[in-house]
Amino acid sequence: MKRMWWIPISLLLLTGCVPSETDEEAEVVNEKEEVETAIIPSMQLDDQYYRTLLPYKESATRGKIVNRLNSRYDIVETENGLLRLSQKQFSPDDYYFQEGQKITDEDATSWLQRTSTDNPAGLNAADKRTEEQKKAGERAPAEILAHITEQNYLVKTDEGKIRLGGISIGLALNTMYYSSEGGMSYEQEIPQAQIEKEGKRMADEIVKRLREKEGLADVPIVVGLFKQNAGNAMVPGTYFASGAAPGGKQTVANWNAVNEAYVLFPTSGSDERYRDIDTAFRNFKQDVEIYFSNFTSVIGTGFYQNNELKELKIEIPIQFFGAAEVIGFTQYVTGLVAEHFPENVLVEVSVTSTNGPEALVLKKAGETKPFVHIYE
């Protein structure tokens, strides 16, 4: 093993969450010119992370995401992926992060439903079937929009005050529509062309509605279209398109394709893009199983951007509990990481048991000495 570091988890949490003497107080001005006092953390953990104002404000729509998305993987990725897209427009060096405060719970409730006479604000397709058509088994049109994620980006003005400087909107779109009628359940695959067309239509409508809110007429708005994975998938979906509406514009312009993908290893397909890493992962898995043969599974999730592997996260569940065994096994795994995987890829290995996390091995891209932590 290259290096063993023992860092209490409580210390890591306190460092990122508790205001210190070097933190800065600032006045935050909202669209109604009301002023609040907030704390700007002095520490930025990494240049890819936004600093977040304290006290932390949750989005009014946060609770809806659990019931609207297919899996916990998609729940996490709709937010993380939108953060990546936002960095291209709102630099972490200049902007502060806040959960969305502009789309209300009432907005989200009505926008996520079907459009109808009772709910003209609904963004999903109207169900225009007659009773006869329903009895004949004709299916309702698919609901494509599953969830709306909003993120706010705040910027410091020349007067030293904090104001809203940008908004990012993520539209989580269904690729499979699950429904049940008359005691029967069915699923309907939605074509990519329909997903993209409807997603862009909804994006323009949401931008238009945001422009009508007080103080948002000239705020830049970034929109990303997220394609949900199937409900039984073990990896999340990804954003496939993004665009921006500059201040004062009512529609999203300059749509760009987003080339990202999550791949489960070992793969069951024959895609040439993943063959080399799949071979390396299978060799890694085989070496792990040589050390101990009582593993239930060794699973890896690779994240690709523009067809290039950026990070690989590996989960190893173990069935032994001795401290000496965990340390010895972790040393062995650390050596395998350096042996099997490219230096330019972030590799994270989590060793777990029925008791919870046992060890973490983390090798950052471009580094040869992994960070290793044994949980006590």
- Residue 203 structure tokens: 């994006």
The pLDDT value recorded for residue 179 is 82
Q: Tell me the pLDDT tens digit for each residue of 110-127.
A: 999 999 999 999 999 999
- Considering the domain 22-125+142-178+186-258 in this protein, what is its CATH number? 3.10.570.10
**Among 25-29, 330-334, 372-376, where is mean pLDDT lowest?**
25-29
Q: Tell me the pLDDT tens digit for each residue of 138-187.
A: 888 999 999 999 999 999 888 888 999 999 999 999 998 888 777 778 88
Alpha carbons 68 and 146: distance in angstroms, whole number: 6
Sorted by sequence, the CB contacts under 8 Å of residue 119 that are 6+ apart come out as 110, 113
- Residue 334 structure tokens: 């650390």
Tell whether the model's pLDDT for residue 31 goes beyond 70: no
- Considering the domain 264-374 in this protein, what is its CATH number? 3.30.300.190
Question: What pTM did the predictor assign?
Answer: 0.88
Q: Closest by alpha carbon to 78, among 92, 91, 64? A: 64
Q: Please report, for the chain, the start and end positions of each structural domain, with discontinuous segments joined by +.
A: 22-125+142-178+186-258, 264-374
Range 45-69 average pLDDT: 78
Q: How confident is the model at residue 48 (pLDDT cuts 50, 70, 90)?
A: confident
3-state secondary structure 316-368: EECCCCCHHHHHHHHHHHHHHHHHHCCCCCEEEEEEEECCEEEEEEEECCCCC
Common-topology check for domains 22-125+142-178+186-258 and 264-374? no
Q: Tell me the pLDDT tens digit for each residue of 82-114.
A: 999 999 999 999 999 999 999 999 999 999 999
Range 304-331 average pLDDT: 90
The pLDDT value recorded for residue 220 is 97
Query: Rounded to 5 degrees, what are φ and ψ at 293?
Result: -95, 0
Q: Tell me the pLDDT tens digit for each residue of 220-244.
A: 999 999 999 887 888 999 999 999 9
Neighbours of 253 (CB within 10 A): 10
The pLDDT value recorded for residue 8 is 35
Alpha carbons 50 and 332: distance in angstroms, whole number: 35
The pLDDT value recorded for residue 45 is 64
Contact 359, 375 (CB under 8 A): yes
Q: What is the DSSP string of 18-31?
A: S--TT-EEEEEE-T
Q: What is the DSSP string of 56-83?
A: ----TTGGGHHHHSS-HHHHHHHHHHHH
